[in-house]
Structures are given as structure tokens and as C-alpha cells.
Amino acid sequence: MYTIVNIDYESYLFDPHYHENADQYTKQIREFEYVFFLFSKSDDVLIHQYDYTEEDLVYFRSLGFSPPKLIKKNRINKNLPIHYFWGDLNEKEKNQVLNSKFTSMEIGKKLGLGFYQGGKVLSINDVKTHLKKFSNIKEWILKNPFGMSGKGHYLFSRDQKIPEHIILSRPILEPLYDRVFDIGTTYIIDGNSYRERFSVVNFNDRQGQFRGGGASLNPKYISEFVIENFKLNLDDLYRDLDKVVAEYLKLNPKNNLQIDSFIYRKDDGGFSFYPLVEVNCRKTMGLVIYELANRHPDLWCEWRFNKVEEQNSIEKFKFSLPSHHHQSQVYYFNNFATNNF
């Protein structure tokens, strides 16, 4: 199978200036294209953007991966049957609806599972009017409805002056919650239902930007941690998320559904789930983390983009290439590693 790892999928869907050969998009693909090696077979053909050396391929083989055959993108026959790995290029308008955070917001409000005190704002006056309704909330966040991995979020306090261009490009307004634990739950869609569901822990910064994550094929690692540390039960979250998936299934998705949720600290010091932050109808880094966990099903796996060396891991390896800006490591543990919380 001929495959393109189109990690620029969100840009393809939503950026009116998108061109697949523009450097700003190909750079994004070159940075993370290698994650496909987790899923590929040796007889697959990758139509690649990054220039892999034989040394790179030998390294990935040494980790037990099966790098595919390689064809440079500018040398391909455009009539080849191509599989777009990160997101489907068919039915673009439908996939724009499925991946828009406006859709997440509408469904969250409809089900009472998110955006409780948030909403859509289109001007400075809209922001001022909204903040007056919730005078007790001091910190807020403006989000781009079409971004990925939390990029471009704008944090501000209620007394801060906001440039108008910020609002025009980030029209989703929400309170800044004291989030303590981020969960990404993937549903593998099969027709009119899902055949598999799994969760990973996302290591996000205060703005919600992705910094790595952890997972295990054994669900006890996450569920027991949540019970012990937050006195919450993941089954309660899953009951809510199944309602979200039911709404999205009405839109006939062909790709995975991945729902971002978090646990936050309440004013009284207790904790609660925030079930629906956003939904992505495509491949995600959560799927990558889960596939890394699949190498050692009984262990806890972490993929980290920080530079902290972990001394207590059973196994570790570098999961990035030397020229990449985002250097990362993968670790495996006998128990849930809590360094990132």
C-alpha cells in the first residue's frame, strides 16, 4: 500500500491558504512522519517527505519496527492508489464538521458535558458581555476552533486588554480550569458503532499543548490512579463519552473518534471530570502512544518530549531523529510513573 502520513490534516481541512507542498506544512510532516514506522509493514510503501538515511532505518529496525519501502514524494505517479494515514481526504466538508471544535462545543452544550461557562465570541464586545455574566471567574482562554495539540491558545485575565485580531482567530472562549490530569479516549469506529475503546494520559501544559503521554494495554494503571488520587471512577466518564460518540455517529464518521477530557480541581478542593474538551475525527498522538504501549502490554509506557532522564525505567529508547526539533524518549515501567503530574 502506498501511504502518505498527512499530519498536516487539520491545515488541509481548515486553512484557506493550504498547499500541500508549502514548507510550513511539509515541515510538520517531516518532524513526525516517522511515527508511521510503528504501524507499517516491510512491504508497505511510504511516500516520504523526510530524507531517511540507512542509519535511521537500521536504528528503527533495531527497536523491532518494520520500516516500509520509501519513495520520495516528488517522484511518485500521481495516479497511484494512495492511503492518507492521518486523515481521510474524501468528503472534505463532512470532515470539516466532524473535526471542528464548534461541533464539539455544540454537542457539549447540548449534552451538558462541556462548555458550561464558555461560548463563541466574535468581537471584543462579545468577550466583555460574556465575562460580565461570570464575574467570579478571573482567568480565561481563547481557542482556535481548527487547531491541533493546543497550539495557538491565548490565556488572559478578566482585566487584561485583548487585541482584536486574537479574538478573530480564536473565537471559542472558556474559563481556564485548574486541570490536573488530561485523558484522551479513542473510539475505533466500525460502521454505526465502535468496536474498541481505549484511553491514554496526555501530558499537556497549562495551555493544553501536548508534551507527551502515557498508556498501557492494561486499563488498571489509569483507572486505579484516578480512583486513588482523585476519588473518581473512569466508568462514570465513559458513560458520558458514549453519549458524545452516539451524537457523532449520526454524522457517519469514517475515521477514529478521539475525545479529550480532563480532571480539574474544584473551588472546594475536590475533583471532577470535564468530559468534553474537543473531538478529533482522525489519527492522533494518543494512538501512537497506545501502539508504543503495545510493545510491552503489561507495562506502563510513556512517550516524553521533555529532557528529564528517567533512571527507574525497565527499558528506554530515543523515539525521534537527530535533525528533529522535537526530541523524545520512550520509557517502560512496572508501575504508573507520576513524574509528569
pLDDT score, position 6: 95
Judged by phi (left if over 0) then psi (alpha if -120 to 50, else beta), residue 293 lies in alpha
Taking the alpha carbons of 222, 225, 227, 232 in that order, is the dihedral positive or negative?
negative
pLDDT tens by residue, the chain, 341 residues: 899 999 999 999 998 888 888 888 888 899 999 999 999 988 999 999 999 999 999 999 999 999 999 998 776 676 788 999 999 999 999 999 999 999 999 999 999 999 999 888 888 888 889 988 998 899 999 987 776 555 668 888 888 888 878 877 788 899 999 999 999 999 999 888 899 999 999 998 766 677 899 999 999 999 999 999 999 999 999 999 999 999 999 999 999 999 999 999 999 999 999 999 999 999 999 999 999 999 999 999 999 987 666 668 899 999 998 888 889 999 999 988 655 54
pLDDT score, position 310: 67
> Residue 153: how many CB atoms within 10 A of its CB?
19
Closest CA to 249 of 293, 211, 279: 279
pLDDT score, position 10: 92
pLDDT score, position 335: 85
Residue 116 phi/psi, 5-degree rounding, is -60, -40
What is the grid cell recorded at 212? 507527551
SS (H, E, C) the chain: CEEECCCCHHHHHHCCCCCCCCHHHHHHHHHHHHHHHHCCCCCCEEEECCCCCHHHHHHHHHCCCCCCEEEEHHHCCCCCCEEECCCCCCCHHHHHHHHCHHHHHHHHHHHCCCCCCCEECCCHHHHHHHHHHCCCCCEEEEECCCCCCCCCCEEEECCCCCCHHHHHHCCEEEECCCEEEEEEEEEEEECCEEEEEEEEEEEECCCCCEEEEEECCCCHHHHHHHHHHHCCCHHHHHHHHHHHHHHHHCCCCCCCEEEEEEEEECCCCCEEEEEEEEEECCCCHHHHHHHHHCCCCCCEEEEECCCCCCCCCCEEEECCCCCCCCCCEEEEECCCCCCCC
pLDDT score, position 145: 72
pLDDT score, position 143: 86
Bridge partners of 204, per DSSP, are: 210
Whether 220 and 211 have beta carbons less than 8 Å apart is answered as: no
CA–CA gap between residue 217 and residue 229 (Å, rounded): 21
Domains for the chain: give ranges and CATH numbers.
2-86 (no CATH), 98-175 (3.30.1490), 179-333 (3.30.470)
CA–CA gap between residue 53 and residue 3 (Å, rounded): 19
CA–CA gap between residue 230 and residue 264 (Å, rounded): 9
pLDDT score, position 31: 92
pLDDT score, position 330: 95
Pairing of strands 210-215, 193-204: antiparallel
Give the CB-side neighbour count of residue 71, counting CA atoms within 13 A: 17
